[in-house]
Structures are given as structure tokens and as C-alpha cells.
Amino acid sequence: MGEELRGAVGDIEVARVDSNSRDCREGSLFFALPGRSTSGDKYIAEALEAGAVAVVSSAEVGNTCPSLLVATADMHATLVRASAAIVAHPERSTRLVGVTGTNGKTSVTTIVAGLWRAIGGESAVIGTLTHERTTPPPPELFRELAVVRDRAQSDEQPLVALEVSSHALDQGRVDGLQFEVAVFTNLSHDHLDYHLTTEAYFAAKASLFTPERCQRAVIWTDDPFGARLASMCRVPLVPVGSALASDVRCEIGSTTFTWRGLRVESQFSGGFNVDNSLLALETVVAVGVSADAAAAALRQVQPVPGRCEVVSRKGPTVIVDYAHTPDGLERILSDLRALRPGAKIIVVFGCGGDRDREKRPMMGAVATRFADITVITSDNPRHENPESIIDQIIAGVTPNSLWSRASDRRVAIAEALKMAGPNDVVVVAGKGHETTQIVGDDVINFDDRAVISELVK
């Protein structure tokens, strides 16, 4: 891990690196990182009890264990170097694609990885569907890359499609990585509880598109922030927009369009998945796949869990979607309106607690504008009162719209299903693939898809 660590902690056998005391195991080197609200030094005893054999800190630890004192400004860089070195630098043996943006990260990474597998390569996705955090912290991220490297069955390097969140960029979680391609999907209102301003949010996203972090860029330029990013990008750029797809024909569960003169088929639903597919197709071409092979492979890629996922067609069509931003909710509802003209659209959604409060009335406005009936409920209330969150959503509902409230999410879904006719569409939005609900400090089992299946029966 470097002479600076070895010399400080002696000849102790270190098996792994951790920055979260709850992750520590026998042989862990624990990094007590300084934080915004608390310091890792408070968890040294917990880390040692779990099996940590040494500690890296920016403050004196005392004689309780072998330790290394590192300046606060150098802590993160030291963590990245140690995390990569302890697993023999897997980033050097994998091909990395990083995808950032407010909406679409999970879909684009999943489609990219699916395309790569369909043409015969080995691939993996790291992101919302696979980890607790969209982008894991360095110890977990480098361990995961090592797993991908070690399970590869061929001499060809596996491709890893990584969701890169704005938090991860701001906190340096992808430091030490060089992406073959960085992809930008879009930017809209989200995470302002963390970034405070849209400009700061955009700056975090834009920091991925530098020569230090990526070799090439694929950017959705129909988005105004994407167009702005393209104008300032300092790496070779592939601009992507909806004009690249012609003769688009969409149904629920099936979409076809023409791209680069090739007829493309997919199992996806909605215009937003045409956008996601275009980004993924151009990305795999950027890493060396022919357009013909990419177009042929798309039909083999499976739909993304929890993204416009059709759960039931018994009576009304019932769809689960991860849309949890105003822009994401508007897109799924407007796309379904186009797919099912004349059908009644009923949406069930809520907003997470302890998160961006500004978007709550915006979500209420979008839902009641684009759906015929809205049922407002709980998402992950965390430590907030669910009824208070609902009140804030209701503050934005459009006049004379049809809506109701039910803080119990199961009750809300049941209410929506009862109101739906056989030709209508019910959208349960916000949680998508998630199988739990966070209420206070409790994590309870709650999968929208399972609940819908039970209620439909």
C-alpha cells in the first residue's frame, strides 16, 4: 500500500481498507475520515472491536492501536491510493464507462452493459441497482472492480458501466479512475439540499468531463445543460440528441426506431428510453463496437428493473417507475399519455424525507398536470412526518385537479387500482426497484411490485 503506510504502522498484516466502521472486518485498515456532520474518529473503537488492526486519522489516536497521522487535506487521496493498492489496482484491468446526470443513469449503464454482453463481451454495472449508494465510496468501489476483474473468463478486459452521482464527484469517490467514456444524460431539479444551487450541482457533474477523468465524452445536447457542457468540454465529444432517431414507433414493452440508417428494436417503453438507448448505442460505438453490431444487440437487452416496468396487465396496465424528480415524473407520465391515448392515467407517488424539500410542491404540480388522478402518499419518510411531506406536495397541486392522499403506501396503491378501469394505466412512482421503505430508523420490507401483484390477485 505504499511505504508511507507500511513504515508508519509497521509489519501489520492488512487485509482490506475501510472508511465505514460498520464495514470493518478482521484485518481492516480503518480510515477515520473527517465529515460534514461527524468525524470518523468517533468510530475508531467500533472499528477496532470489529477487527481493524490499524487506523489512519488526521488527529492523534493515542496508544490504543497502531496508527498513521495524515493531514486532513491528504486523507482522501491517501484513502484512494490505499483502496486501489490493497486489491492490486483493478482499475488498470477493466474498461470504465461513467454515466452522470439527474435522470437516466441506471438505464444507460444497464443498457451499455447489456449491449456489451450481447456482442460477446463481459460486463458489469455498479450503481443504484447493485449498491446502497449510487456510487460506492473508494474502498467498496475498488473491491467491486476487483471482483469484476477476478471473475473475468477471457483475456479481454471486462467493461464496467458505473453510475457517477454528483455527491460522488463532489466527495471524490471516483478519484483515481480514468474513464474511457463519460456520459451526460440531463440535469434538472434535484439534490439542492446538498449542493444548494443548480450551478453548484452542474459544476459537480461537469467535473467528470475533464482530460484527467475521461478520454471521450458522450453528451445529450438536447438538454440545455448538456449543450452548455458540450460547449466547454475539453475531451473528444460525441453530441447526441433525439434527431438521431427517426421513424420512432413506441408501444408499452416494445420500441423501434432508425439510427444511423439501421432499424433498431428494443424491449423498452416510452420516448425517454429511446433517448437512453441512443446514449448507450453511441457509447458502445465510442469504445469500439460497430454500429451494425450495436443495433443488432439492442433487441437482446432486457428492460431495466423498476424503470417503466410493467407489473400487471390484468385489468389496468400497472407500471412501476423510479421517477422521483419533477422532470422524471413529467417524462414518464407524458410518454404514457402518448402510448395510451384516451386512457385514464392514475399516478401514485410521494417524496423522500430528509431530502430536497423544494421539489415537493413541484412534484405535486407535475403529477396533477400530467395525470388524470393523483394519489399522494409516502416514499421513504425517514425522520420526517409523512403527513407534513404530503402537505408540502399538496401546496403545488394544480387548481381543479383530482387528487387524494393516503400516507400508507399500500392503501394508496390499492385506492389507485380501485379507481382504474381495464383500459387505464396506473403508475406507481418514486421507488422503482427498491424493496424496502425507510421509516425513522427502521428499514421495512416494501416492494411496490410485490404489493401490486398481491393487490391485483
CATH, residue 191: 3.40.1190.10
pLDDT at 257: 98
Which of 268, 298, 328 lies at the terminal end of a domain, its last residue?
298
CB-based contact 195:231 (threshold 8 Å): no
User: What distance in Å separates the CA atoms of residue 113 and residue 159, rounded to the nearest whole number?
Assistant: 7
The two beta strands, 309-312 and 317-321, are: antiparallel
Does residue 208 come out as left (phi exceeding 0), alpha (psi in the -120 to 50 range) or beta? alpha
pLDDT at 324: 93
168 membership: H or E segment, kind and range: helix 166-171
pLDDT at 7: 41
Q: Are residues 432 and 316 in the same domain?
A: yes
77 membership: H or E segment, kind and range: helix 72-86
Percent of the chain with pLDDT over 90: 88
Number of domains in the chain: 3
pLDDT at 3: 42
Q: Are residues 19 and 117 in the same domain?
A: no
Q: Are residues 71 and 106 in the same domain?
A: no
Q: Are residues 143 and 289 in the same domain?
A: yes
> Closest by alpha carbon to 24, among 53, 52, 61?
52
Residues 6+ apart with CB under 8 A from 87: 142, 143, 145, 146
Q: Are residues 164 and 101 in the same domain?
A: yes
Question: Which residues of the chain register pLDDT less than 50?
Answer: 1-4, 6-8
Q: Is residue 303 part of a domain?
A: no
In which residue are the cell numbers 424528480 written?
A: 325
pLDDT at 50: 97
User: What distance in Å separates the CA atoms of residue 110 and residue 276, rounded to the nearest whole number?
Assistant: 10
Which of 267, 298, 329 lies at the terminal end of a domain, its last residue?
298
Q: Are residues 346 and 394 in the same domain?
A: yes
Sheet holding 54-57, edge to edge: 16-18, 28-32, 54-57, 67-69
Q: Which three cell numbers stand for residue 309?
A: 416496468
pLDDT at 10: 57
Q: Are residues 123 and 253 in the same domain?
A: yes
Find the length of the chain. Answer: 457
Q: How many CA atoms lie within 13 A of 349 on its CB side?
A: 36
User: What distance in Å separates the CA atoms of residue 87 and residue 227, rounded to the nearest whole number?
Assistant: 38
Q: How many CA atoms lie within 13 A of 7 on its CB side?
A: 4
User: What distance in Å separates the CA atoms of residue 51 and residue 368, rounded to the nearest whole number?
Assistant: 53
The contacts found for 3-11 with CB under 8 angstroms, 24 or more apart, are 4/68, 4/78, 5/29, 5/56, 5/68, 5/78, 5/82, 8/66, 8/67, 8/68, 8/69, 9/54, 9/66, 9/67, 9/68, 10/66
Q: Are residues 387 and 352 in the same domain?
A: yes
The two beta strands, 28-32 and 16-18, are: parallel
Q: How many CA atoms lie within 13 A of 22 on its CB side?
A: 0
User: What distance in Å separates the CA atoms of residue 11 and residue 7, rounded to the nearest whole number?
Assistant: 8
Q: Is residue 67 part of a domain?
A: yes
Q: Are residues 241 and 182 in the same domain?
A: yes
Which of 244, 265, 298 lies at the terminal end of a domain, its last residue?
298
Q: Are residues 200 and 323 in the same domain?
A: no
User: What distance in Å separates the CA atoms of residue 224 and residue 230, rounded to the nearest whole number?
Assistant: 10
The strand ranges marked E within 354-441 are: 373-376, 402-405, 425-429, 436-439
pLDDT at 343: 95
Domain that holds residue 390: 309-456
The partner residues of 16 in beta bridges, in order of sequence, read 28
User: What distance in Å separates the CA atoms of residue 327 and residue 335, rounded to the nearest whole number?
Assistant: 12
Q: Is residue 427 part of a domain?
A: yes
> Closest by alpha carbon to 114, among 305, 262, 242, 392?
305
Q: Is residue 232 part of a domain?
A: yes
Prediction pTM value: 0.90
Q: Which three cell numbers stand for residue 42?
A: 468517533
Measure the CA dihedral 362/380/174/127, to 10°: -100
Q: Are residues 24 and 81 in the same domain?
A: yes
Other beta carbons within 10 Å of 96? 23
Q: Is residue 322 part of a domain?
A: yes
Q: Is residue 304 part of a domain?
A: no
CB-based contact 429:324 (threshold 8 Å): yes
Residues 6+ apart with CB under 8 A from 200: none
Q: Are residues 414 and 319 in the same domain?
A: yes
Residues 6+ apart with CB under 8 A from 41: 32, 57, 59, 61
